Amino acid sequence: MTKIETTKLTIKELSEALQKGEVSSVEITSAHLNQIKKVDGEINAFLAMNESALKEAENSDKRRKEGKTLSEFDGIPVGIKDVILTRGIETTAASKMLKGYLPLEDATVVKKLKEAGMIILGKNNCDAWAHGGSTENSDFGPTKNPHDASRVPGGSSGGSAAAVAADEVPLSIGTDTGGSIRQPAGFCGVVGMKPTYGLVSRYGLIAMASSLDCPGPITKTVYDNALILSLIAGLDKKDATSSGSQVKDYLKDIEKGVKGLKIGLPKEYFGDGLGAEVKKTVMAAVNNLKKQGTKIVDISLPNTKYGIATYYIIQPAEVSSNLGRYDGIKYGHSAKGSKNLVDHYFESRTKGLGDEAKRRIMLGTYVLSAGYYDAYYKKAMRVRALIKKDFEEAFKKCDVIIGPTSPTTAFKFGAHQNDPLAMYLEDAYTVNANLAGIPSLAMPCGKDSEGLPIGMQIMGPHFSEDLLFRVGRVYEKR
Amino acid sequence: MIRVTKQDVDQISYLARLKISEKEFKKYQDELSAILEYADLINKADVSGIKPMVNITGLSDVVRNDEKHPSELLRDEVLSNAPDKKDGYIKVKSVLN
């Protein structure tokens, strides 16, 4: 047997190598664990490890020998963002509030990966509670960008994107509330899908903003991403907002090409504030797709400018409600020696929650409080409807929309220190897809003069993931 | 412009069950004011005739039958992460002093 460098392989290649008997799950799993050992001291993409990963790999190999393989993914390793519950593996949402917390259940996405025989290697670092765009807000130290350790990997799923970029895992499941899969995928040069809201169950996510949260795959290739979305999508009776009827086979038409498709370029995504190199590179990708038979149409999403303002009302409002459960009673950090119950709440929460979580809780409580609800929250829900309408109008003129994922490439650590608003504005191109609930596929489209990855995103109407993969795949194979 | 007053910070921190130290009051006043000032942008949007949107994919009132199902978890498991417990119950501080 020739020695294969399995950490460089895609899920598709690993699956084929396993099926041909060229490599075992134990070999693949060991190689990835070795890679983690080698690079993660610097990268810090992993928080907790699954101690029984190798044992599970042995079981996978045994199943394969007996002809009882669970799926084409049986024996392939995966990382899970730390806001997603994994039974028996410490899950903290990268917050000291949940240090030592051992979930009793697997999130539905995790359950589906395990039922397919995939091996969970460990938990990926992120901004605490998924609040942030750089992983600098993790209570357990930031993740570093594998392309340049002086720069952030993006966030909040920064550990997931960095782990895939650094060959520590071929797949990590992230979550995207305002760009948290796409922006780090862009910064790290990997592929990330934020699916349509409700396509992938939220059951078992440590909720951030429930009307916006979407779990999705981060992978090395568009093809791998489609493979994994097919596995994790679908109705879940444990998530009343999940949508079952719209699940498609994302591989069926993936090689069909793009001839005749119309790509919309929203002028609001290419205006002031967009870095020149990012703009040039995304436009080069668009021109490549034009050569491959698409038609380019100029469109407008006039309410884009209200995106961040709307998002930073709705999201903290939901955060303030969702983080209300961390009271030091059922689990999590619990204050000692409080006088009475209400003091116990105050003391547990004040010590256990970090600055950014507190800022969002305070902001959310403010916009939901009597006298401000109509002016902020209710108004934001109306503007959200406008933003959704923008996309509906645009998709009458085009099949998909392409734009940059972020205004710049990965920034230096500390660049937005002491300025929360500047950090929030990083999400200017990503939040609108969340507000409108539409899917968006982020993928690399080149590098800047410093060698840092540049990302573009392909957006489509609700439940058009198959189309996004088709377009992404054509570009990937260019 | 500071429009979030000290009293506001006091009131919301009480509602959110967060203790704010004396020097943090100013920080929260400044930060929340700056973010809300930015958020004011939404008042420029023309929302006449637009209803507030709650669910983005159009689902509403998803209910299940009111039937009981056995728990998938054992009592001891459910209690395993609780910091303080006694006789199979979660123990809390007294509500009244």
**CB-CB neighbors (< 8 A) of B59 in chain A:** 198, 240-241, 243
Size of interface A-B (CB pairs under 8 A): 167
Element counts in chain A: helices (H) and strands (E) = 15, 11
pLDDT at A1: 45
Task: Nearest chain B residue to A384 by CA: give it.
Answer: B53
Task: Give the model confidence (pLDDT) of A160-192 as tens digits.
Answer: 999 999 999 999 999 999 999 999 999 999 999
The reply to whether B59 touches chain A by the CB within 8 Å rule is: yes
Q: Flag whether pLDDT at B96 surpasses 90.
A: no
> Residue B39 and residue A313: Cβ atoms within 8 Å?
yes
Mean pLDDT of A437-457: 98
**CB-CB neighbors (< 8 A) of A358 in chain B:** 18
* Rounded CA separation A116/A229 (Å): 13
For A427, other C-beta atoms within 10 Å of its C-beta total 25
> Residue A383 and residue B12: Cβ atoms within 8 Å?
no
- Rounded to the nearest 10°, the torsion over CA A145, A45, A160, A13 is 90
> Residue A462 and residue B57: Cβ atoms within 8 Å?
yes
Of A349, A380, A421, the CB nearest to B34: A421
Q: Flag whether pLDDT at A203 surpasses 60.
A: yes
> Residue B17 and residue A327: Cβ atoms within 8 Å?
yes
The reply to whether B43 touches chain A by the CB within 8 Å rule is: yes
A180 three-state secondary structure: coil
Q: Mind telling me the catalytic residues of A? A: 81, 156, 180
> Residue A386 and residue B34: Cβ atoms within 8 Å?
no
Domain regions of chain B by residue span: 6-44
Mean pLDDT of A261-286: 96
The reply to whether B78 touches chain A by the CB within 8 Å rule is: yes
Both structure tokens of A188: 């790290």
Task: Give the model confidence (pLDDT) of A325-363 as tens digits.
Answer: 999 999 999 999 999 999 999 999 999 999 999 999 999
* Rounded CA separation A200/A368 (Å): 28
For A151, other C-beta atoms within 10 Å of its C-beta total 21
Give the length of chain B. Answer: 97
**CB-CB neighbors (< 8 A) of A105 in chain B:** 72-73
pLDDT at B1: 56
Q: Flag whether pLDDT at A222 surpasses 90.
A: yes
**Between A300 and A2, residue with greater pLDDT:** A300
Q: Flag whether pLDDT at A103 surpasses 50.
A: yes
Task: Give the model confidence (pLDDT) of B16-75 as tens digits.
Answer: 999 999 999 999 999 999 999 999 999 999 999 999 988 888 888 888 889 998 988 999
Chain A, residues 237-256, CB within 8 A of chain B, namely: 237, 240-241, 243
Strand A453-459 relative to strand A400-404: parallel, antiparallel, unpaired? Answer: antiparallel
Average pLDDT, chain A: 96
Task: Report the amino acid identity of residue A179.
Answer: G
> Residue B92 and residue A306: Cβ atoms within 8 Å?
no
Of A241, A358, A380, the CB nearest to B55: A241
Closest Cα of chain A to B39: distance in Å?
4
Residue A195, CA distances (Å) to A97, A245, B65 in order = 29, 15, 29
Which segments of A109-223 are extended strands (E)?
Answer: 119-124, 171-176, 191-194, 214-219
One DSSP character per residue, A97-116 reads: GGTT---SS--HHHHHHHHT
Domains and CATH numbers, chain A: 1-478 (3.90.1300.10)
Q: Per CATH, is B6-44 categorized as 1.10.10?
A: no
Closest Cα of chain B to A380: distance in Å?
7
Task: Nearest chain B residue to A246 by CA: give it.
Answer: B57
Helix A465-476 and helix A276-291, axial crossing angle in degrees, nearest 10: 90
Tell me whether 0.90 is exceeded by the ipTM: yes
